[in-house]
Structures are given as C-alpha cells and as structure tokens.
Structure 1
Amino acid sequence: MGNQIQNTPQVRLIGTLYVFVIILAGFSQGYVREGIFVEGDVFNTSENILENEGLFRLGLMTDLLAFLLDAIISVLLYLLFKPYGKTLALISSSLRLLAHPAIGTLNLLNHYLALHVLKSETLSLSFNQDQIASLSHLFMDVHSYGYLIAGAFFGIHCLLLGVQLFQSGVFPKFLGMLMFFAGLGYLVETFGDFTFPGNEVLFSWIVGISAALGEVTLAFYFLIKGSKIKSVTA
C-alpha cells in the first residue's frame, strides 16, 4: 500500500503545550530567578529569597509544571516525526526528555535548597548567618550551571528537530532553519559559559534571541496552523 494522507490534530496540541512551557519556564527563569538572584552578592540574594518566599516557591512549581508538559511534548514530537525517520525522531525526543524532564527537574533541588538552608533551624545551630547566606547563594549558582548542562542536551534536540522539520516536506523550511539556529544558540551558551567565562551576558543574548525566534515561532505555528497540516504515513 502506498503512502496515505491524514490529519494530524496532535500538532495543535503540541503547539498549545509548547506555548504553556514557554510562558511557565520564562516566568520562573526570566522573572523569578533573574529578579531574585544577584550575581556575586550573597546577602542581597538571601534577603530577596526570604522577602519573596512565595514567589520563589511559585517559580519552582511553574518550572516543574513546564518540565512535566515538556515530557508530553517529547512523546508527541516522536509520534509526529516517526513516519519521516524513526531513529532520528527517537534520538531527538530522547534528548528532549533528558534535557528538562530529567536534568532540569533534578536541578530544581538546587532551587529549593537555596531557600531551605535559609530557613533551616538545624543549620542555624552549626553555622552563622553569613555562612548560611553563602551556602544559599552557592545553590543558586549550582542551579544556573545545571541549567547550562540541560541546555546542551536541549540544544542538540533543537538541531535535530530543525533537521526533521526541514526534511519532512510537511512544514515550511524556515521553521527547520530557525530551530536549527536555536539549537546552535543553546550550545553556544552552554559551551561558551564553561569555556570562556566572563562572556555570559553575550552568550545569554545569543541564546535568548535565537531561542525566541525558533521556539516561539514554532510553538505558535503549530498552535495556529496545526489543524490544517497534513502528515504522510506509511
């Protein structure tokens, strides 16, 4: 039997979930942590965490929810692109699962511990407040490094997703190109921050612009055009 054309309503679902992930993760990383964490300032960071405890906890929960949704997106993307190359689709989706649902979720422990040590009565018996504030700041630092490590996995996923979009013949090729460059942006930030310290702001701008162009465009294209897209299956 030849190839058969069928509707793919899961494309719109992927787009919907992806928009939620962007909003939730953007809130936790771009608003909560960026607003609370002060690079190199132990005491202001600890004060910000304690004074905004509710917001800090909310940032953890929105991140966790985003990662749970990302696990669903990973499976849906595999099912969507499986007809165009099972192995490539499996590798790509596996890397996405490892990036945020796995590494990113475990990394949230560092986010939580930054608050936990500041409120721990047990630690207050053994360490002074300056030492506890430094420990909290360290956990925030470790969280940022964990985010970078997850970004390496996610960057390769975006590269492969760009290839799948480009080769499928179903989606506009510019989507594949944008996602490919988004993947490069994530890899530049991860390997750049670890290899060339002192240029974090530059690398952050690179990934911010490339990811916004790639992921936001893809999410809204799937959301808006999803019900009209046709998929080829054997």
Structure 2
Amino acid sequence: MKTISLSNVAIIAGFGLLLMVLTVPFAEFYIFPKLISENSENTANNIVTNKMLFTVSIFLHFITLICDIIVAWALYVFLKPVQQSISLLTAWFRIIYTAMYLVALVNLIKILTIINHSENTEFVNFSDNVAFYISSFKLEWSFGLMIFGIYLFLLGYLVYKAIYIPKIFGILLIIAGLGYLVHTLGAFLFPEINLDFLFFTFFGELVFMVWLLVKGRNISTNSSS
C-alpha cells in the first residue's frame, strides 16, 4: 500500500484550512449580522423570515467541522516524522475541539426545530427560546476555543521542531495558541477586561495555511528550515 507523501498531505491541509477561511467568516460576519440583533423578538422574526439563509449558515459551519477533521488527520501525517506521539496528541486535541464545536452547533439546529413547530407557540416564548439557543451556541463554541488554543500551541511546537518547516511558523502558531487561551479564559473569568487587542495573534494558522499551499508541493523531510 503506497504511503501518502508529505507534500500531498500538506496540500490537503492547506486546502482544508482555506475552505474554512471561506465558510465560517461568511456565516459569522455576513449572515449572522443580518439575522441576529440585541432584541430577541427581532432576531426570531429575522430568522423565521430568512429561514433558508439561517440554514445556509448552519451548513457552512458543518462544512467547517468536516474540514477540521480532515485537517487534523492531514497535519498528523504531515508532522508525524517530527514526533509521532505528540503529533497524535495534537490531532486528538483538534478532534476534541471539533466534537465540542458540533455540540455547540446543535443549538442552531434546535432553532430550526422550534421554527417548524412554532405555529401554536406564543411568539414571546419562541423568541426567548431562539435567544437562548443562540447564546448557548456562542458560549459553548467559545469554551471549545480553549481546547483549540492548546491544539495550536502543540502544533506550533511540532512545527518549530520540524526541520522541513521554517521555525517562524512554529513561533506564530504558539503565539496564536496563547492568544486563543488568554482571550477565551479572559472572556469567561474577567469579562470586564477588553482583550480584543489579542485579535492579531489569531492569524498564525492563516499564515501557516498560505505556506502549506505555496510551498507544500516541494516539502520533504530532507528540507531545511
């Protein structure tokens, strides 16, 4: 059975990350702002009126979940030559994060359920339920980002140790992981503190994605960083 090459899994990981860049931001920064407002009744009315658009946002998140699993596998294979046990542990952290992400996404699916059975329900109760599930989705997904932060930290360590990847990407990924951890923990433990300045640290994985797509086809374990 032919073993898949490092260059092939690098390209697979890169395209998986690229697809995620195109899905979640579209749902979070384009669709949700059109539907979700501070007023729960307005939000419920927007979702009912634009049910198809809301459904599209759910499937965009679902595509991201699939990509997360593919990227976890691809980067495990890609970094296995560095240290197999740590690479496997790192992949498991992304899989666990993906499972938590799926649990959070179920909240949005429940909104579709109550929309389909809302004919005999008072609108006030309906809008309160919608607000509750949207809040649950955001909170549960945010909590999962702590696991994702640990994943990025471990990924950064492996990338830094790899002789076939420039060490700068390992440093950027470690910084990104710490950024996710501090930002998420701060939101839960110290919500009064504004940590939005950490946003710039989140680009480590995106920079790594570009490198995988541009240089991935030329990678081998004999490459030098």
Q: 2 CA distance for matches of 1:187 and 1:82?
A: 25
Match of residue 72 from structure 1: 70
Match of residue 160 from structure 1: 154
Match of residue 8 from structure 2: 9
Q: 1 CA distance for matches of 2:6 and 2:60?
A: 32
Q: Is the 8 A contact 1:156 1:187 kept in 2?
A: yes
**One-letter amino acid of the counterpart of residue 174, structure 1:** I
**Deviation sequence 1:188-217 (CA, Å, 0-9, x none):** 222111111244xx44552x4222x21211
Q: After the TM superposition, which residues 34-73 of structure 1 pair with which residues of structure 2 at under 5 Å, given as runs?
A: 34-39=33-38, 41-73=39-71
Q: CA deviation at 1:24?
A: 1.1
Q: CA deviation at 1:7?
A: 5.7
**Deviation sequence 1:138-168 (CA, Å, 0-9, x none):** 0000000111121011110001111111111
- Structure 1 residue matching 2:37: 3-state secondary structure: coil
Q: After the TM superposition, which residues 1-234 of structure 1 pair with which residues of structure 2 at under 5 Å, given as runs?
A: 8-39=7-38, 41-100=39-98, 102-121=99-118, 124-125=119-120, 127-199=121-193, 202-204=194-196, 206=198, 208-211=199-202, 213-231=203-221
Q: 1 CA distance for matches of 2:6 and 2:80?
A: 15
Any gaps of 5 or more consecutive residues in structure 2?
A: none
Q: Is the 8 A contact 1:36 1:49 kept in 2?
A: yes
**One-letter amino acid of the counterpart of residue 132, structure 2:** L
- Structure 2 residue matching 1:83: 3-state secondary structure: coil
Match of residue 3 from structure 1: none
Q: 2 CA distance for matches of 1:29 and 1:97?
A: 22
Task: Specify whether residues 134 and 16 from structure 1 end up closer, same or farther in structure 2 by C-alpha distance, changes over 3 A only.
Answer: same
Q: 2 CA distance for matches of 1:96 and 1:29?
A: 21
Q: 2 CA distance for matches of 1:217 and 1:49?
A: 35
Q: CA deviation at 1:8?
A: 2.5
Q: 1 CA distance for matches of 2:24 and 2:179?
A: 17
Q: Is the 8 A contact 1:118 1:133 kept in 2?
A: no
Any gaps of 5 or more consecutive residues in structure 1?
A: 1-5
Q: 2 CA distance for matches of 1:49 and 1:184?
A: 35
**One-letter amino acid of the counterpart of residue 194, structure 1:** F
- Structure with more relative contact order (C-alpha pairs < 8 Å, separation 6 or more): 1
Q: 1 CA distance for matches of 2:100 and 2:24?
A: 14
More deviation, 8-17/129-138: 8-17
- Structure 2 residue matching 1:162: 3-state secondary structure: helix
Q: Is the 8 A contact 2:155 2:173 kept in 1?
A: yes
Q: Is the 8 A contact 1:148 1:189 kept in 2?
A: no
Q: CA deviation at 1:51?
A: 2.3
CA RMSD of aligned residues (A): 2.0
Q: CA deviation at 1:120?
A: 1.5
Q: 1 CA distance for matches of 2:41 and 2:19?
A: 33
- Structure 1 residue matching 2:221: 3-state secondary structure: strand
**Deviation sequence 1:17-70 (CA, Å, 0-9, x none):** 11001211222223223442224x211211221222111100100110111111
Q: 2 CA distance for matches of 1:176 and 1:91?
A: 17
* Count of residues in Structure 1 that have an aligned counterpart in Structure 2: 219
